[in-house]
Amino acid sequence: MTVLPMGRAVMVLGAGRLSTQDFPDVSPGAGDAVVDVSYGGVCGSDVHYWQRGEVGESVLADPMVLGHEVVGTVRTAAADGSGPAAGTPVAVHPAQTCGECPRCREGRDNLCPHLRYLGSAARRPHTHGGFAERLLVPGHRLVPVPAGLPLRTAALAEPASVARHALTRMTALAGGVRGRHVLVTGAGPIGLLVVALAHLEGAAAVTVTDLHPQPLAVARRVGATGTLTAGEPLPQVDVAFESSGAPVAVATALGALLPGGTLVQVGQLPGDGVAGPWHLTVPRELTFAGSSRFAGGMAETLATIAAHPALFAPIVSAEYTVDEAEEALAVASRPERSSKVLLRFGTP
């Protein structure tokens, strides 16, 4: 069973067209829970569907409920005991996978060819997202939020899991970030979460670049030891994470790597390809690798956030009501004035 929106939901109808619609309540099956949604984080993909009607190769063909960064409280527990009890604060895992293909069996379910992600137009019918008052959710896709962690901060669970997966990729490829000089290009929400996690993992230094002063100021609050405006000369670094998705940032990151360095690409790059100083990869023996979404659950990520809530809280920059959804997406589209923007459902 997939996730189904219930109650009032935020929908994108086409490029530049946002609306709300009421969805009927659905009786849960034995393995389904009902969640009262508290917060939904606005992702760049939500903004792109609203602005352009597409995200890369995923083109909006029908109206779709947005949102894949969702936290709330279990209203009705799954009758078969497959999920948390009623009253439990939870994060909703956004991915539906087959569990049977070679990638799923390897523990790389983020690469499942049958994957469906909340709020995605990659397949038709589209997969409705979680920007709704209530959700019908398979119980096994609910991850309990640690006691004492505010749901406003727990709303970072999905993007923080994406950032954590990028660091896991770096560990597999290059031994991790501990004791190393790390470069992060782009101080959007994912970049900021990479900064915080690299700081916690013992990076010797974390240098962050961005076009705007406000996200760089947030970067300093969450663990950056140095910040630079894009275009300024960079130090030579051991490893780099490119989170902006800008082709020029890829070139910048490659040029900053010391011999033997590794670049993990987290930001979505343009579909028509990227030109850059790829000639450097041979004499310097550089490694370039992608990082897509995240594999496994979110429990470890939530535990990390709960252990350091003051470090992660500054990444949430604003929250808006459902009635202010269009304003929320507009603010989220302006990185010079926002980091992670939340939609609030119900009572905080």
**CATH number for the domain including 58?**
3.90.180.10
HEC profile of the chain: CCCEEEEEEEEEEECCEEEEEEECCCCCCCCEEEEEEEEEECCHHHHHHHHHCEECCEECCCCEECCCEEEEEEEECCCCCCCCCCCCEEEECCEECCCCCHHHHCCCHHHCCCCEECCECCCCCCECCCCEEEEEEEHHHEEECCCCCCHHHHCCHHHHHHHHHHHHHHHHHHCCCECCEEEEECCCHHHHHHHHHHHHCCECEEEEEECCHHHHHHHHHCCCCEEEECCCCCCCEEEEEECCCCHHHHHHHHHHEEEEEEEEECCCCCCCCCCCCHHHHCCCCCEEEECCCCCCCCHHHHHHHHHCHHHHHHHEEEEEEHHHHHHHHHHHCCCCCCCEEEEECCCC
Do 286 and 328 reside in the same domain of the chain?
no
pLDDT for the residue 271? 76
Owning domain of residue 184? 161-290
The domain tally of the chain equals: 2
Do 32 and 94 reside in the same domain of the chain?
yes
Task: Give CA–CA dist 297/211, Å, rounded.
Answer: 33
pLDDT for the residue 273? 79
Do 137 and 18 reside in the same domain of the chain?
yes
| pLDDT lower than 50: segments of the chain | none
Do 8 and 152 reside in the same domain of the chain?
yes
Do 41 and 113 reside in the same domain of the chain?
yes
pLDDT for the residue 1? 63
Do 304 and 286 reside in the same domain of the chain?
no
pLDDT for the residue 302? 98
What CATH code is carried by the domain that includes residue 175? 3.40.50.720
pLDDT for the residue 276? 86
pLDDT for the residue 136? 98
Model's pTM, two decimal places?
0.95
Do 200 and 67 reside in the same domain of the chain?
no
